[in-house]
């Protein structure tokens, strides 16, 4: 920096022109999709924490042999033949 020179840093462009504050259609679409992705991510995070806190809640209470008519668990292979 030279002697006698004043350093000013401003975010406003020089002159009397005001920047266009409206967003374009592409920017609006991108902004909306990013917001939707964050909502989706939040839902997934909540669901994962619920599964971690109670992992057996989402499991069915029936076993694989409930649908068999009077067969034992070891006899399932013979019913396929």
Q: 41: burial class by Cβ within 10 Å (0-12, 13-18, 19+)?
A: exposed
Q: Indicate if the alpha-carbon torsion angle 52, 54, 58, 61 is positive or negative.
A: positive
pLDDT in tens, 29-81: 999 999 999 999 999 999 999 989 888 876 776 665 555 555 555 555 555 55
> Of 30, 28, 11, 9, which Cα lies nearest the Cα of 19?
11
């Amino acid at each position: 920096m030279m002697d006698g020179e004043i350093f000013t840093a401003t975010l406003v462009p020089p002159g009397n022109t005001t920047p266009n504050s409206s967003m374009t259609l592409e920017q609006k679409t991108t902004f909306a999709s990013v917001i939707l992705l964050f909502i989706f991510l939040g839902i997934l995070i909540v669901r994962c924490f619920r599964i971690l806190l109670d992992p057996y809640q989402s499991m069915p209470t029936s076993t694989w042999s409930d649908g068999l008519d009077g067969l034992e668990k070891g006899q399932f292979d013979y019913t396929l033949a």
